[in-house]
């Protein structure tokens, strides 16, 4: 009887612990305009489901993704959901994905994209670091500042300097005045620094100042995580970094 009671208590406690594990939300898509959408996928960080933002850009020659879904080497379901959404709603092939740095919330779904025949590009440093992290390598073709056209839509890929990582770039869509800041930029809804394991805290503020000078006319600024808005996110990020650095001295 004691053994049965112990077993019941164990199973009950196991069920309780499993129930406390947060369930990861599914893909969310938000329309910014007729041709640009934000894809939001979720990953687990410190036992919490955290949203991660990327872009879907429709052009006359097909779809361009900015960043993969937040995936891991063993689970690429988020990126699979993005590809399925594009097929179901935009009825175009995904031609290209630009990854903005080598963390799993940006490059984690690369194997899923390559399996689907999608070309994935990055800077040489991001490609190198992606391989070091155990991911397949994007094509290492992006210089520090370059603009190219896809389906008559210009994409500017720009490295303003180190910050969240040594390889973080941003993507500017001048036709729509949309800046994808990635994890270099913090949402105005966030008041912590998040993951700074690979950060250059000394250079981060200088890099953000460059973005403020270059892209002060942005209508939308999309941070790597949480809610997005206008250029207030740039000023907010600068304030957070400077405040954090001051607290360390």
Reported as a single tens digit per residue, the pLDDT across 177-222 is 999 999 999 999 999 999 999 999 999 999 999 999 999 999 999 9
Which listed residue (195, 200, 206, 245) is catalytic? 195
> Using the 8-state DSSP alphabet, how is residue 225 labeled?
B
- Per the annotation, the verdict on 168 as an active-site residue is no
Which listed residue (35, 67, 78, 103) is catalytic? 103
Within-domain flag for 190:
yes
For residue 69, the enclosing domain spans 23-247
Within-domain flag for 169:
yes
Gap between the terminal Cα atoms of the chain: 62
Within-domain flag for 5:
no
Domain count within the chain: 1
Lowest average pLDDT, out of 14-18, 50-54, 116-120, goes to: 14-18
- CATH number, domain of 77, equals 3.60.15.10
Higher pLDDT among residues 39 and 48, named by residue: 39
Within-domain flag for 14:
no
- Per the annotation, the verdict on 225 as an active-site residue is no
Residues 127-134 have a mean pLDDT of 97
Let me know how long the chain is: 249
Over residues 56-103, the pLDDT tens digits come to 999 999 999 999 999 999 999 999 999 999 999 999 999 999 999 999
> Using the 8-state DSSP alphabet, how is residue 249 labeled?
-
Within-domain flag for 102:
yes
Residues 107-112 have a mean pLDDT of 98
- Name every residue whose Cβ is closer than 8 Å to that of residue 213 and which is 6 or more positions away in sequence: none
Which listed residue (39, 164, 225, 236) is catalytic? 164
Report d(CA 32, CA 220) in Å as an integer: 9
Within-domain flag for 212:
yes
- Per the annotation, the verdict on 103 as an active-site residue is yes
Over residues 138-153, the pLDDT tens digits come to 999 999 999 999 999 9
Within-domain flag for 18:
no
- Indicate the SS3 state at residue 229: strand
Within-domain flag for 94:
yes
Tokens of 131: 């391989």
Residues 155-173 have a mean pLDDT of 98
Burial of residue 14 (number of CB atoms within 10 Å: 0-12, 13-18, 19+): exposed
Over residues 5-42, the pLDDT tens digits come to 443 344 344 444 444 556 789 999 999 999 999 999 99
């Amino acid at each position: 009887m004691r053994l049965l009671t112990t077993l019941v208590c164990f199973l009950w406690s196991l069920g309780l612990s499993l129930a406390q594990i947060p369930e990861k939300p599914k893909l969310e898509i938000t329309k910014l305009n007729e041709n640009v959408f934000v894809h939001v996928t979720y990953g687990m960080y410190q036992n919490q489901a955290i949203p991660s933002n990327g872009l879907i850009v429709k052009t006359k020659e097909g779809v361009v993704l900015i960043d993969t879904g937040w995936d891991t080497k063993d689970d690429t379901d988020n990126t699979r959901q993005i590809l399925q959404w594009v097929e179901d709603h935009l009825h175009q092939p995904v031609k290209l994905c630009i990854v903005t740095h080598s963390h799993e919330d940006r490059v984690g779904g690369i194997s899923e994209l390559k399996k689907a025949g999608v070309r994935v590009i990055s800077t040489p440093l991001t490609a190198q670091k992606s391989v070091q992290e155990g991911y397949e390598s994007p094509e290492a073709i992006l210089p520090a500042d370059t603009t190219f056209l896809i389906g008559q839509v210009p994409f500017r890929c720009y490295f303003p300097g180190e910050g969240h990582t040594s390889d973080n770039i941003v993507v500017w869509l001048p036709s729509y005045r949309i800046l994808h800041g990635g994890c270099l930029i913090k949402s105005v809804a966030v008041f912590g620094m998040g993951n700074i394991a690979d950060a250059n805290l000394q250079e981060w503020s200088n890099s953000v100042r460059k973005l403020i000078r270059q892209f002060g006319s942005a209508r939308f600024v999309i941070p790597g995580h949480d809610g997005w808005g206008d250029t207030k996110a740039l000023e907010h990020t600068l304030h957070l970094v400077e405040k954090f650095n001051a607290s360390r001295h």
